[in-house]
Chains A and B, each alone.
Chain A
């Protein structure tokens, strides 16, 4: 079984500042890793994913995450945040099996202010 730890429940940051949202996972098998974003009163949307290959993956809106197998981490970063990035972010893991049975972290609320 897998587990995901998001240590920071809330991260306040000023607009245009950099941000890092931390995610650590545990698993005894090979995994796929995901970051999802949830805006108020909506479902979750995929932000980015790591399946294989390059350990650095990017989203279309400037976020990136790096898979670090030795540290079992998949931290999410953005060099300069915008007000519109205010949302809850969830890290998730699944084993490389036949169904996307994701295990989610408890989420990190990113609050961007002027």
Chain B
């Protein structure tokens, strides 16, 4: 029972490099989300996709792009990484209804030097 799978688990980038974080869910959920977690700041929403074919900005979208490839997959791209993007990134999914809980992946720990 995989749930939400994120790859990679760890990544180190140099400033200016690009990369894509992958996320896939097998629960047939409509909505998917990308959050970043920083010490003392909790989780902040980067982008979300309420349903296949739609994406919207969250609280901290600058420096990121997303693609909802299909109902299962939602990727996060850093075009030109900056040290301020050093963080732990979590993907989550849920049914469309706002009372439905989020199901989280185990995170990607990204360091930008």
Q: Closest chain B residue to A97 by CB distance?
A: B98
- Which residue from B41, B43, B98 sits with its C-beta under 8 Å from A100? B98
Known: A43-B4, A46-B102, A90-B42. A101 touches B90 (CB 8 A): no
In the assembled complex, which residues on chain B have CB atoms less than 8 Å from the CB atom of A90? 42-43
Q: Closest chain B residue to A42 by CB distance?
A: B106
What are 18 A-B contacts defined by CB distance under 8 Å? A32-B98, A41-B106, A42-B107, A43-B104, A43-B106, A44-B90, A44-B92, A44-B102, A46-B101, A49-B99, A90-B42, A96-B99, A99-B48, A100-B94, A100-B102, A101-B48, A101-B98, A104-B42
Interface centre among A6, A36, A100 (most CB of B within 10 A): A100
Q: Closest chain A residue to B35 by CB distance?
A: A104
Size band of the B side of the interface? 20 to 34
> How many of chain A's residues have a CB under 8 angstroms from any CB in B?
29
What's the nearest-Cβ distance from chain B to residue A49, in Å?
6
Is B40 on the interface with A (CB-CB < 8 A)?
Answer: yes
Q: Which residues of B contact A (CB under 8 A)?
A: 4, 31, 33, 35, 40-45, 48, 50, 58-59, 90, 92, 94, 96-102, 104-107
Interface centre among A44, A94, A104, A106 (most CB of B within 10 A): A44
In the assembled complex, which residues on chain A have CB atoms less than 8 Å from the CB atom of B90? 43-44
